[in-house]
Chain A
Amino acid sequence: MDKLLNYLRIKNTVSCTTPDEAYAKRPMLWIYNIIIVFAFLAVIIYFSVDVSFMNGINFNGTRLGELWKGMCNPNWSYFFGYGEYRFSESVIYQIIETFSIAFIGTLISSILAIPFGFFASKRMVGKWSVISELLLIVIRTFPEILFGLIMVKVVGFGSFAGVAVLSVHSIGMIGKMYSEQLDVVDNQPLEALDACGASFLTRVKLGVVPQVAPNFLSVILYRFDLNVRTASLLGLVGAGGIGYYIWVYSSFGTWSMLTPLLLGVVILIVFVDIISSILRKKLL
């Protein structure tokens, strides 16, 4: 019994004299790993049964064949907007529209988030920061697609609904990041400015802004990167952008039209990803 307890490192009862003896009687910690792995597997299997994972799957051959055929023959005139499609119906136009929604939304929310971030930082407002922090958590946790549905009711179908959603929903994350940056502002420049007799605005301009501006901008760029994805998603509920057409053509099963759209989304996201990572590297 003592030996078992020693092996499981519950109780150190075995005394050893030589290193070889100690090595022979070392605790067998792999037993714990095995127990953890089996518990994990049991949980996974239980969950799989509970949500009927891979239950009653029948691969629909004809539908997959259609998908493959459509994927191999994308409709290029739809992508570039020539021939039977006008430019304002093309995928390129949709890409630019999605980009615009994300850009305007991010810019507006980065300005709106400044007061939220200020009131959420403990450094600036003391213990009352909790209220603003909670508000930011609520905004962040609210699913954006539901917000899109509500905004469509408020401002009507179209791309402005997407702008409204992004400019409100992004406040949650940007405001939190702002408050984190404001919490770690170095006090010494502010003290020096105080000693010179600077006014409040001068203190903000010379003491706070130079310290936080690069970080703020990198946060905004990162959020812009995420917002492009969200903007492409919001079309599902009719709030503008490329997602609406993806939803329409996927529900009709018109795969030759869907392929250019998917290509467009991937190109847009990769493009914005690269631009934002280059700019962020330059900033920091």
Chain B
Amino acid sequence: MQTKNKGVLRRIFHKLKYKKVIVSLNDNGTPSKIIEKKRSLWPRYFLIVAAIFGCCFIFVELPAKIRFDQISVIFGQMFTPSEFSLKTWDRYNEYIFATAIPAIWSTVEMVFIGTTIGTAIAIPLFLIASRNIVLKWYIYQPVRIVVDIIRTIPTYVLAILCTVFFGIGNTAGIWAIAIFTMGIMFKLMYEYIDTCNMNPFEASMSTGATRFKAARVALYPQVKPMFFSNFLYTFEINVRASVILGFVGAGGIGQLLSNAMDAQQYDKVGAILIPLFVVVVVLQLLSSFLRRKSL
């Protein structure tokens, strides 16, 4: 034992870190060789997580009672016309086709415009921020830091700030989506360009091409499929995120949802949810198909 005279705490830590393992026994059954082996780290990690889990309950107060029956009540009201808002099935169907679907379509249009604008803003930024196009760290590092800070702002906060600038309406939502998209595209693209194969670039430089021409010939074909794939991916994310925009007054389908929810008209909520669900799934399938094709 090397740690015999090194204080109590040391010894305790040593015992926590190592365990004794009997390697071989004598004929009479007493251990002849004992080695010290490092203990597994998993129990310790488990304890840390459990401690944080326990501490978290200081800040989360448990409810007095949970009314599980409300779940079935709300879901039941969602998919049958209630007597207070849409009285008959005809009006339920009419609400789906005349109100919900056009609103969802305009949301998709908003998301498409926003994604395009955001991508257009992101293109020069990620070109400046990629290490192998711009070689100077004092150019690419500040751009990365600034856009990474913008990227951390959640979508709904952006939407709130945009409603201050542009007033309540679709325009605020589109700009919120654009800024959000800019952050995602920026990050995905500069990380991809950093890992591009630079050998063709050097080869074309050695034939006498300028940096721009070399990038056009050697980097552009590598980046292009990834760019379209990321565009579709961001579009898909934005369609799902756009529901939030309406809750802060930035237009889109969320406006209808929050109005219906405030008035406790759950059947309208259900009538919006069904086509929304279909649109999201279809767009997801379409985008994953196109992405597989473009890569």
Which A residues are CB-close (under 8 A) to B243? 143, 145-146
Residue from A48, A55, A153, A243 in contact with B70 in the complex, judged by beta carbons closer than 8 Å: A153
Interface residues as binary, B256-270 with A (CB distance below 8 Å gives 1, 0 otherwise):
010001000000010
| B204 contacts A by Cβ under 8 Å | no
| A50 contacts B by Cβ under 8 Å | yes
Question: Nearest chain B CB to A271's CB is how many angstroms away?
Answer: 10
A53, B174: Cβ atoms closer than 8 Å: yes
Q: Give the CA-CA distance A161 to B166 in the complex, in Å.
A: 33
A266, B149: Cβ atoms closer than 8 Å: yes
| B60 contacts A by Cβ under 8 Å | yes
Interface residues as binary, B53-74 with A (CB distance below 8 Å gives 1, 0 otherwise):
1011111111110111011001
| A29 contacts B by Cβ under 8 Å | no
A57, B247: Cβ atoms closer than 8 Å: no
Q: Give the CA-CA distance A58 to B248 in the complex, in Å.
A: 19
Which B residues are CB-close (under 8 A) to A146? 243, 257, 261, 269, 273
A47, B247: Cβ atoms closer than 8 Å: no
Which A residues are CB-close (under 8 A) to B56? 99-101, 103-104
Work out how many contacts link A and B, with CB atoms closer than 8 A. Answer: 144
Which B residues are CB-close (under 8 A) to A246? 156-157, 160
**Which A residues, 147 to 184, have Cβ-Cβ distances below 8 Å to chain B?**
149-150, 153-156, 158-161, 163
| A51 contacts B by Cβ under 8 Å | yes
Q: Give the CA-CA distance A269 to B151 in the complex, in Å.
A: 10
Residue from B152, B167, B170 in contact with A270 in the complex, judged by beta carbons closer than 8 Å: B152
Write the chain B residue with the least CB distance to A161. B63
Question: Nearest chain A CB to B184's CB is how many angstroms away?
Answer: 13
Interface residues on A, range: 35 or more
Q: Give the CA-CA distance A266 to B244 in the complex, in Å.
A: 19
| B18 contacts A by Cβ under 8 Å | no
Task: Identify which of B2-10, B104-112, B206-214 touches chain A.
Answer: B104-112
Question: Nearest chain A CB to B144's CB is how many angstroms away?
Answer: 14
B interface residues with partner A (beta carbon < 8 Å): 49, 52-53, 55-64, 66-68, 70-71, 74, 106, 109-110, 112-113, 116, 149, 152-157, 160, 164-167, 169-171, 174, 240, 243-244, 247-248, 251, 254, 257, 261, 269, 273, 276-277, 280-281
Supplied contacts A47-B113, A104-B57, A154-B68, 11 more A-B pairs, CB within 8 Å: A47-B112, A58-B167, A64-B164, A100-B60, A103-B53, A145-B244, A149-B261, A153-B74, A160-B61, A229-B154, A233-B244
Considering the complex of A and B, which 8 residue pairs feature the smallest CB-CB distances, nearest first?
A: A100-B56, A47-B109, A143-B243, A100-B59, A97-B59, A155-B63, A159-B60, A269-B152
